[in-house]
Structure 1
Amino acid sequence: MKGVRDPAVQLLQRLIRLLRWRVWIQEKLQPTEWQITLWWAALAGFVGALSSLLFSVLTEGIHELLTGRSDGVVETMRQLPWWACVAVPATGGLLAGATLLLGKRLSQGQSSTDYMEAIAIGSGRIPVRSSLLKSAAALFSIGSGGSIGREGPMVQLAALQASMLGRWRRFSPPQLRLLVACGAASGIASAYNAPIAGSFFVAEIILGTIAMESLGPLAVSAVAAALTVRVLTDAQHLYQVPAFRLDSPWEMLPYVMLGFIEGTLAPWFLRSLRRAEKLFVVTTIPPIARLVLGGMLVGGIAIFFPQVAGNGYTVVLEILNGQVVWLALVGIMIAKWLATASSFGSGAPGGVFTPSLFMGASAGYLFGTAVHSFWPAGAPDPQACALVGMGAFLSAASYAPVMAIIMLFEMTLSYDIILPLMLCNVIAYYTAKGLQGESLYSESLRRKAAETPSAVMPMGKVRDLLKTKPPVVSSTARFAEIARLFLSVRVNNIYVVGEDQRFFGVVSLHDIKPYLGDPDLASLVIANDIMREEFPRIGPDQSLSEALGAFLGHPIERVPVIDPESSRLLGSLSKTDLLLALVEKRQQPTG
């Protein structure tokens, strides 16, 4: 009848119209796998910032629940009676220990992988249940006034969100590790409002490289996180400090000495934390009792020095603004050192990043005050020494001088401090490295790698990275089938195989363009008519360096992996996975 059309023809015409848009998007926008990776990195940054903000709100809620006050933790400790100063941190330790014990029972058979382990020596998979319960335990430790930083669980949660996102999208191990690294960068950026430093924290400390293949996504994620925090809160730069000015080149001499001091002090600080951890372990008391004891020790110290409670942020602000008497600071610094060792040694979940800034600022201020008393022109501003000391101590503790320099600049926005900061950081870094072979982070990673050697995933051959079951069609497939496949998967090349999976060639998205204007001709075409037999291909036992040659000179994102004996299609190799694996391999020790 007139007006009645073949349903198959109508379907083909609809597919062709959709396919025209697909080809137009590919030709005009040309989205590559790297661009898609940056998009996912931005999303990981956004989600990571939200989780960090939620953790901060919950921490304040726990603090108010345990103390009945909404003031800062230091101010609260000043106002509490002596018995409450001891009881509140001890209660926080009890709740944290009970949560960790519950987590251990509920997570039997599930590892306690943290974000550093997942990125550096793992597959990027972070267990959900154990991570959430450990973060919940950190809420009680931090909210009750433990001398520990909140950046650790904030970064863990952000990395967990990124890991869940990558697993949902079924990312390959190299891509998943990179996405988890992006989540960690977003956590640091959210905690300190320092996106550049957040990127370099992960690049220097965990990945060990600042190659653009990894640094680019890290920067995008950190920027997305910082923007999210600034939109949802009134966050500005973290530390408001007076203006600093370098009046004479002679002022650089005390900073040289300060670099040696901070570089010597940081290793002793890290050793004391490890020694405290061993002392708590040899007591053989249950983990819950250790956390309670650690909380009681912190509370006992806080009776006389309430400044030890929390991560030390408010006291650092007072130091940088010259609101602390140097004689009182000596006692506060020693008390903070003991309190941090008590919290860390007892197993309280949290970080020592911000306490390290406290130690560096205190040592720097005391040194600046001493120099000023004997040589006023050499250190006219002790607060400047405190600021530089923060960066130097962080550099010596983390073995990441570039990150420390950038972080101090971002947190203060004081450009004039850059010259002494760079000099002091480098001296502190080399001094600490000469006194102690490993930083706090590298020692932890080495220990975990020794405990779980199977977690390390060497990537040396193509077969280690290939993805099985790529999109394929038979050589007799009709145009409509090819069109549906191009519309359902985001690839630019579809592989043509025989019944035995023997590889024949490739149908390119660009090659079907001439048929989009003629549906009648398209209805007659099969895959064998439009496929290209000459196309780059690699074998499963080729090295990664050899595989890279298949991409050179060809604007393609994936190459087929073919069995050289049977010509069977085994899978495909992504350029993104290959480049990430090459970067990771370059950072691995050679024996």
Structure 2
Amino acid sequence: MAARLRGWVRGSEVAVVGLAVLVGAAVGLLAWGMGAAAHGLQRLLYGLEPHLRLSAATRLPDELVLLVPVLGGLALAGLNHLIARWRPKRPIDPIEANALHGGRLSLTDGAVVGAQTVLSNGVGASVGLEAGYTQVGGGIASRLGRACSLRRGDLRILVGAGTAAAIGAAFNAPLTGAFYAFELVIGTYSIAALFPVVASAVSGVLVARLLQAGTYVVETAAPGVVDPGYYPLALLLGALCGLSGILLMRGVGTTETLLTRFIPSVPLRLMLGGLAVGGLALISPVALSAGHGALHLAFMTEAPAWPVLVLLLVKAAASIVSLGSGFRGGLFFASLLIGALGGKLFAGVLAMLSPPGPDPLILTIIGMSAFGAAVIGAPLSMTFLALETTGSLAVAGPVLAAVAVSGLIVRRLFGYSFATWRFHLRGEAIRSAHDIGWVNDLTVGSLMRRAVPTAPAALDLAAFRQRFPLGAATRVVILGEGGRYAGIVSVPEAHAAPPETALEGLLHLTDRVLLPSMNASVAMAAFEAAEAEAMAVVDGPARRVIGLLTEAHLLRRYGEEVEKRRREESGIASG
């Protein structure tokens, strides 16, 4: 019965949509639980009133502001130590899972990252919960998809659907969640992915609304008509946001490198990071937690340029120090707040230069979206966030212009979003969630022909011709002393050579070989560099021949896999 059910799910597009709805509902429930846990921890540690957000609290005792993040860093170090003893393997991110592992993601990793994120956010570190939300959402989706034996393409889509529900539930914004999944976790948009992703995002949002989660809901009003003069301002603000986003991302990487080098003790590093965040919070509570309350105030209140600049620098420094010192979380919400403050600052500067200046609310929304697109790498997701936040189509126009400029600048000058930049720092060659895992699975060892005609290098040409007549083989691998690879001889060329020619003079590719661990892309580059039609595969330094691979076979198999992935993405694949 179970096998029959799995077969039906595996072969039915409607069943995959049904799974996505279940995933969305579960993720909406867990997003509510994680948000409530983090806020409850903040209330307990800082003595907050039930409906007050930490980043908007103005009457926090100085001793708590300094002490709680420090002790929180120590507690996180202890939690990390326990987790490392229980599960030493590094958690795999949903983007990484979809890029390298065909959507295979551990639910245990979701629990680990979720606990670390809730603790980090709960003690006041300047990180958001969205990293935990998406990790849990992707983990649930992957676990359910593997239980139903989904194909690789469907599993990747379902993992994207899980993250769509997570972001949608977090921001009460299903379109934002859906396009977050398309742009970051699935890596492409297709009709096959549309239905499960949207279904999951909507179900996650509905569950969060029923529970009155109030996680990261951002709501504001914007004018229904926007003057065309805002478009040039949006382009300029988008360019500034793109450049500033690069500085923020590089700042996190540089801080992490320096702290790791000069403070090797993880507990001490986290405690000092917590102390720095607490010190910044003495300047303004905007440094604490994700910044939801502060973002609400940024939309609702007017302020001169200089105080806004101070808040922007405090929040940026707190986010850099929090992530660089080892607190767990994301930059999603922090980037929205920094961008909103940047837009308000931009409006304030223009008002100083040419009173009364543009509407600060419009530029705040544009800055929020453009800076978010620069850091997160999801321009359409940020555009829809602005649309769902304001309900104004008029504002969406200049927002789209700003995020396009911001994204282009980051793409050309930096080449990474924050998530892929972190992968780069770890040595992973991932720039998006496009499925490249199958390329790594398509290795030389799996493609090579193991039955290889060989001959000793000491063989003379006449004996070689007798052993390998025309038509018996195309090429022969020549072995030197100890069976080491010496080169390849073309059989037709050997038969056409003068009788006095030495076999050694007919050797080709004497210093060009393949290793069984090479993937298809590396192997194709090796064939291109060697200008060869076939290459021997050796086992490493010993250079013992274990197989032979032809370029034609490699290209054929690579093309078959590319076509298979294309059909999966377009929803054509059925087997």
What secondary structure sits across from 1:421 in the alignment? helix
In structure 1, runs of 5+ residues without a counterpart are 1-21, 23-28, 465-540, 550-574, 586-591
**Contact 2:102 / 2:155 at 8 angstroms: preserved in 1?**
yes
**Alpha-carbon offset, residue 360 of structure 1:** 0.7
The offset of 1:35, in angstroms, is 0.9
Post-superposition CA distance 1:430-456 (Å, at most 9, x none): 22223212221222345567389x992
Over 3 Å counting, the alpha-carbon distance change for 1:225 and 1:75 in structure 2 is closer
CA distance in 1, matches of 2:47, 2:355: 46
2:126/2:289 contact within 8 Å kept:
yes
Mapping of residues 92-241 of structure 1, within 5 Å: 92-108=72-88, 110-233=89-212, 238-241=217-220
Deviations 1:281-325 (A, max 9, x none): 112432222211111110111112122111112112112123444
Q: What is residue 513 of structure 1 aligned with on the other side?
A: none
Show the counterpart of 2:33: 54
Within a 5 Å distance, the mapping from 1:58-457 to structure 2 comes to 58-71=37-50, 72-74=52-54, 78-108=58-88, 110-233=89-212, 238-246=217-225, 248-376=227-355, 379-446=357-424, 450=428, 456-457=437-438
Give the deviation of 1:582 after TM superposition: 7.2
Q: What TM-score do you get using the length of structure 1 for normalisation?
A: 0.70
Deviations 1:489-538 (A, max 9, x none): xxxxxxxxxxxxxxxxxxxxxxxxxxxxxxxxxxxxxxxxxxxxxxxxxx
Identity of paired residues, percent? Answer: 26
Give 1:189 deviation, angstroms. 0.7
Partners in 1 of 2:92 and 2:151 — Cα distance?
18
For the residues of structure 1 that align with 2:205 and 2:368, how far apart are their CA atoms? 22
Alignment of 1:510-525 (within 5 A): none
Q: Are the counterparts in 2 of residues 77 and 85 from structure 1 also a CA contact under 8 Å?
A: no
* 1:170 shift after superposition: 3.1
| Shift in alpha-carbon separation, 1:257–1:281, aligned structure 2, 3 A | same
Alpha-carbon distance in structure 2 between the residues aligned to 1:69 and 1:193 = 24
Aligned 8 A contact 1:74 1:308 in 2: no
Can you give the 5+ residue segments of structure 2 that lack an aligned partner in the other structure? 447-554
Query: 1:73 Cα deviation (Å)?
Result: 4.5
- SS class of match (2:66): helix
Q: How far 1:208 moved relative to its partner?
A: 1.9
The aligned amino acid for 1:276 is: T
Q: Give the Å deviation of 1:167.
A: 2.8
- The farther-off stretch of 309-318 and 242-251 is 242-251
Q: Does the C-alpha gap of structure 1 residues 584 and 98 become closer, same or farther in structure 2, counting only changes over 3 Å? A: farther
Aligned 8 A contact 2:9 2:15 in 1: no
CA positional deviation for 1:362: 0.9
2-side partners of 1:304 and 1:545: how far apart?
59
Whole-angstrom distance in 2 between the partners of 1:43 and 1:542: 40
Distance in 1 separating the partners of 2:94 and 2:21: 18
Q: Is 160-169 or 310-319 further displaced after alignment? A: 160-169
For residue 58 of structure 2, give the secondary structure of its aligned residue in structure 1. Answer: helix
What's the CA shift for 1:546? 6.8
Q: Distance in 2 between matches of 1:352 and 1:237?
A: 13
Residues 405/228 of structure 1: CA separation in 2 closer, same or farther (3 Å cut): same
Q: 1:242 deviation in Å?
A: 3.3
1:96–1:138 CA contact under 8 A, matched in 2: no
What is the DSSP-based 3-state SS (H/G/I as helix, E as strand, rest coil) of the residue aligned with 2:91?
A: coil
- CA distance in 2 between partners of 1:74 and 1:408 (Å): 24
Residue aligning to 2:459 = none
| CA distance 1:42–1:36, change in 2 (3 Å) | same
Question: 1:527-562 CA deviation, whole Å, 9 max, x = no partner?
Answer: xxxxxxxxxxxxxx996987999xxxxxxxxxxxxx
CA distance in 2, matches of 1:582, 1:435: 32
Query: Shift in Å at residue 85 of structure 1?
Result: 0.9
Q: Cα RMSD (Å) of the superposition?
A: 3.3
Matches of 1:236 and 1:184, distance apart in 2: 15
| Residue number in structure 2 paired with 1:555 | none
Distance 1:199 1:449 in 2: 29
2:229 is paired with a residue whose SS is helix
Question: Which one-letter code corresponds to 2:568 in the other structure?
Answer: L
Distance 1:301 1:169 in 2: 49
For 1:106 and 1:40, locate their aligned partners in 2 and report how far apart those are by CA, in whole Å.
31
Residue 131 of structure 1 aligns with an amino acid whose one-letter code is G
